[in-house]
Chains A and B, each alone.
Chain A
Amino acid sequence: MGPELVRILLVEDNAGDVRLTQEAFKDAKVHLDLHVASDGVEAMDFLHRRGRYVDSPRPDLILLDLNLPRKDGREVLTEIKTDPDLKTIPVVILTTSGSDEDIEHSYQLNANCYVSKPVDLEQFLSVVRSIDDFWLSAVRFPKEKRA
């Protein structure tokens, strides 16, 4: 139901989690293009097509960790959701934090949804697959301004 090619920006500093996410998405039901930014500054450079990201595509979906080097995920979320051009991109918070405060605060900042990363490997893979099942199959993305 979604677009034919789905572009995802994963903002994650943990190399192991990046690798696992890539592996879990390999079985995705749609054709997807996964990009990685390893901190908040890189994420904003990617979204604003600065520096080595001049040719980056506009992502259809962003998976955002909260605890990131250089620029925090909360700050990245705030910048995305207050930018008139970027705010329509759905942002899924994917973090090890399960604190009620982080959950409430993320929704206040207009995160589209909040998912806690399980520590257990099998559960982690199943969570990534559930994102695939829901966001990449059932949800309609905004079409506009896709590069």
Chain B
Amino acid sequence: MLNANSYAPAIQVLLVEDNPGDVRLTREAFQDAKVHLEMHVAVDGVEAMEFLFQQGRFADSPRPDLILLDLNLPRKDGREVLKEIKGHPTLKSIPVVILTTSASDVDIESSYLLHANCYISKPVDLEGFLTVVRSIDDFWLSVVRLPIGERHGTGISSNPAR
């Protein structure tokens, strides 16, 4: 990961995923990322919200630049997490990519209604899965402009950059 971009501050990615295999594969796929990134993992919806609000063991967590969110999660469902993020005045500008095995039209439609930034179905086969993660790297981490809202700062308690 040492390349020209190493001088830029790392892009902070929060992966909300309860399946350890998928966490492992995502991490591996991101190892070839063209940008300098730091991946954090929350294994359920409650942990995800604690991370975002810097609670408990996440007191020092950075504000993520991008969130990859599974829909079916223990304790607090991904749909609920999405609703809380997109209903929060300062968290709502963080792009949320839904990354889930569900391909149901109802899940797709309701995620966009809740202002998910995009919806991706996880392919079941390994190569397909790695391709999808790399496409997130190629587009979201390389082409898209992410909001800089306090990336280097003290988290979400103060006002976003504007």
Contact = CB atoms under 8 A, between A and B. Distances in A.
B75 interface: no
Contacts, number: 97
A59 B139 CA distance: 21
Contacts of A127: 143
A28 B93 CA distance: 30
Nearest to B139: A134
The contact size tier of chain B is 20 to 34
Nearest to B116: A112
B69 to A, nearest CB: 14
A115 B143 contact: yes
B57 interface: no
A70 to B, nearest CB: 26
B148 A113 contact: no
Interface in A104-142: 104-105, 107-108, 110, 112-116, 127, 130-131, 133-135, 137-142
B125 interface: no
Interface string B74-85: 000000000000
A29 B140 CA distance: 19
Contact of B139 (A89, A116, A130): A130
Quick one: which of B95, B109, B144, B148 has the most chain A CB within 10 A? B144
> Which applies to chain B's interface (DSSP): helix, strand, loop or mixed?
mixed
The contact size tier of chain A is 20 to 34
B117 interface: yes
A45 B117 CA distance: 24
A143 B135 contact: no
A140 B117 contact: no
Interface string B88-117: 000011110000000101001100110101
A125 to B, nearest CB: 12
Interface string B129-146: 000100110111011111
Given A107-B92, A115-B145, A140 B121 contact: yes
B61 to A, nearest CB: 20
Given A98-B145, A113-B117, A107 B138 contact: no
Contacts of A139: 118-120
B155 to A, nearest CB: 16
A49 interface: no
A100 interface: yes
A101 interface: yes
Interface of B: 86, 92-95, 103, 105, 108-109, 112-113, 115, 117-121, 132, 135-136, 138-140, 142-149, 160-162
Given A100-B148, A115-B144, 12 more contacts: A88-B109, A90-B112, A100-B147, A105-B162, A112-B95, A133-B135, A133-B138, A139-B118, A140-B119, A142-B105, A143-B105, A144-B109
